[in-house]
Structure 1
Amino acid sequence: MKAPHFADYLAVFVDVVRAGSFSAAARDRAVTPSAIVRQINTLEQELGVPLLIRSTRSLTMTDAGQSLFERAKRLLDDLADAHAEVSAFHGLVAGTLRVACFPTFGKRYVLPVLAKLQAEYPSLKVELDLNEKLGDPVLERLDVVIRMGELPDSTLIAAKLAPLNRVLAASPAYLGRKGVPSDVAELAGHRLLDKLHRADLLGWSDVLGRPAAEVSNDPVAFRSDDFEALRGAAIAGMGVTFLPTWVVGPDIKAGVLTRIPLAGEPWNARPSGIYLLRSVPLPSAKVRAFVEALRAFINAPPIWEP
């Protein structure tokens, strides 16, 4: 291999495939698309085979490109893991910290921690992926993924950050008009607030025995995929919401929302939590610093619990 920057070109190639285009990869790397194209061309020339089939609408890997992509991902991930483990011994909080979590949780609880960390460690850079479809730490080279609920079997390393409790809540004004439901049958007659997509993500089945949309009289009065919108709808008196305490707990404490402790909330008896997931066995100094700062900010019991 004659090119002196083979590993760099491999990383660019992997980023192009993951991003789906030269321009998207260029934006991620803060360079021009022409610079990305030149590096891919150099890599193809040195290897002597085409790696990508270009069209006006998309990029498609050749068989050689597919083979290289699979091997390059593993090589680059191994290099990143080795760098992280070695850096951990030195205790240097630097480099890029990549975190993924739910948008509302990230804005409320993660962003303040990251801001404090960067003020303390100026060499630390951050990529915060706020997405309900949470990324894979291995495939997307994420340092930490924050997931909620019951964890499936996985090779990832999980650490519990906090318990995950869900509550029924509505505004005092709404309950003053409609009354406080005393059982599931009465609740089904109320106006309910639910997610718009991803069937029963809030877990209404744990309360009603079925998704809210499948209740015979279709009691769902408002749908949105945004936690803040669902919270806002409840505060505005639009109906009863079923949300985690990290979303509505502060509002219940402030008296803006009223908790409806239906049947003793049996759904909270199931093992569930908020977890920090990583793929590297030995966390780097930047990951350790982030986890410690996040735990300190959230506290135990969590600051949001009513």
Structure 2
Amino acid sequence: MNPLGFAESLSLFVDVVQDKSFSAAARRRGLAASSVARQIDALEREMQVPLLTRSTRALALTEAGALLYERALKILHELMDTRSEVVALDGSVQGLLRVSCVPAFGRRHVAPHLPTLFDRYPALNVELELTERVVDPVAERFDLVIRIGDQPDSALVSRRIGSQRYVMCASPAYLRRHGTPRCMADLAQHRLIDRQHSTSVRGWRELAGIDWRQPPQVALESNDCD
């Protein structure tokens, strides 16, 4: 296996481990799952050791696979950093920018600006992952993550790019049927729509000023704001 092919195989191996399946990694890359499986098989033959244990339910790393995954992350980071440094020598903006943010924000505030970005930097490619989960930008090789709400202390470099306001609202039909709450305590008697698995101050359960002595009546939960 030539060095370029080996680097590509390592990158694919990392995707499979992080996505926990051949099919998910294949969808990310626009490949067939069988093609991904063959490339991982070829990598195992090259390394002469099994890297993954397969079952009908999940993939699991072998001891050798865990070692390779740890080293592969470092190798791929160094490759990307080296490429970025070399490309930056001529002062142009080019290469792949990997971005992660929540779906609703990405659809409304990121995707609409991409045409202008590409007009300005035609040599730039963007990989935009819209997900509600909190990604690890280091382990998953993201250049930029956009998050909403209070952020935990970390070694990441962060910058506020904007603020947003949350409002309580209901449809007129709902209010005609169930009445209008007059104070925060009244919300305990109403059927609410909430964020599923909320991890920041964006859901009813995290809202300050409400004493939920009884669990709120959540009629619908969704992991997508829209």
Q: Do they fold alike, i.e. is TM over 0.5?
A: yes
In structure 2, the partner of 1:36 is: 36
In angstroms, what is the RMSD of aligned CA positions?
A: 3.1
Give the conservation status (yes or no) of the 8 Å contact 1:148–1:164: no
After the TM superposition, which residues 1-306 of structure 1 pair with which residues of structure 2 at under 5 Å, given as runs? Answer: 3-4=2-3, 5-170=5-170, 178=179, 181=182, 183-185=183-185, 187-188=186-187, 191=190, 193-195=192-194, 197-198=196-197, 201-210=202-211, 214-216=212-214, 220=217, 222-225=219-222, 226-228=224-226
Larger RCO (CA under 8 A, 6+ residues apart): 1
- Distance in 2 separating the partners of 1:203 and 1:7: 46
Structure 1 runs of 4+ aligned residues shifted over 6 Å read 172-177
- Provide the TM-score with structure 2 as the length reference: 0.78
Structure 2 CA distance for partners of 1:111 and 1:223, relative to 1, 3 Å? same
**Offset at residue 152 of structure 1 (A):** 0.8
**Offset at residue 161 of structure 1 (A):** 0.6
Structure 2 CA distance for partners of 1:32 and 1:172, relative to 1, 3 Å? closer
- Measured against aligned partners, the alpha-carbon deviations of 1:23-42 in whole angstroms (never above 9, x if no partner) come to 33333223344443443333
Structure 2 CA distance for partners of 1:78 and 1:20, relative to 1, 3 Å? same
- Distance in 2 separating the partners of 1:96 and 1:109: 20
Once the two structures are overlaid, the 10-residue window that deviates more, 190-199 or 72-81, is: 190-199
- Distance in 1 separating the partners of 2:65 and 2:35: 19
Structure 2 CA distance for partners of 1:115 and 1:188, relative to 1, 3 Å? same
Q: Which consecutive unaligned segments of at least 5 residues does structure 2 have?
A: none
Identity in percent: 43
Give the conservation status (yes or no) of the 8 Å contact 2:188–2:217: no
- Measured against aligned partners, the alpha-carbon deviations of 1:41-90 in whole angstroms (never above 9, x if no partner) come to 33323322222233444333221111111111111122223323443443
**Offset at residue 203 of structure 1 (A):** 4.7
Q: Secondary structure at the match of 2:127?
A: strand
- Distance in 2 separating the partners of 1:15 and 1:42: 16
Which amino acid is the alignment partner of residue 23 of structure 1?
Answer: S
Once the two structures are overlaid, the 10-residue window that deviates more, 170-179 or 133-142, is: 170-179
Once the two structures are overlaid, the 10-residue window that deviates more, 70-79 or 43-52, is: 43-52
- Distance in 2 separating the partners of 1:195 and 1:35: 40
Q: Which consecutive unaligned segments of at least 5 residues does structure 1 have?
A: 229-306
**Offset at residue 163 of structure 1 (A):** 2.5
Matched length: 221
